[in-house]
Amino acid sequence: MTPNFIITSPLQATSFVMEDITELTLDDLCRACSAHADIIIELVSEGVIDSTHPTPNETPEHWRFTGLHLHRAKVALRLNRDLGVNFAGAALALELMDELQILKAKLRVSAI
């Protein structure tokens, strides 16, 4: 799997865009977020992110994630680090941000 990179600075490549069809393993997501597996597992248990193809009794090593999961995980980790928001609170904040995006899209459509 090769992500599409967007260089944000000539000296440092810190941002990249990953398509939603790209599948990331737990290890991939850990590296991309600079987080340990237990933190990512906690994000899953709190509902911040979920596996793309969950099956009963699936172990974390079999989980797969997308670029959207990567974005949500990074936002949750940033909320936790910068504002002290726990992961349950981050899940709620992300849900509210999603709803806000939906409402804004509906407003744009109705304004046409």
Residues 42-97: tens digit of each pLDDT: 999 999 999 877 777 788 989 999 999 999 999 999 999 999 999 999 999 999 99
CATH of the structural domain 4-111, one choice from 3.40.605.10, 3.10.20.10, 1.10.1660.10, 3.10.450.230 = 1.10.1660.10
* Structure tokens, 7: 């260089």
- Model-level pTM? 0.75
Q: Work out the pLDDT band at 10, boundaries 50, 70, 90.
A: very low
Question: b/e map of 39-63 (b: 16 or more CB within 10 Å)?
Answer: bbebbbebebbeeeeeeeeeeeeeb
Q: Where are the domains of the chain?
A: 4-111
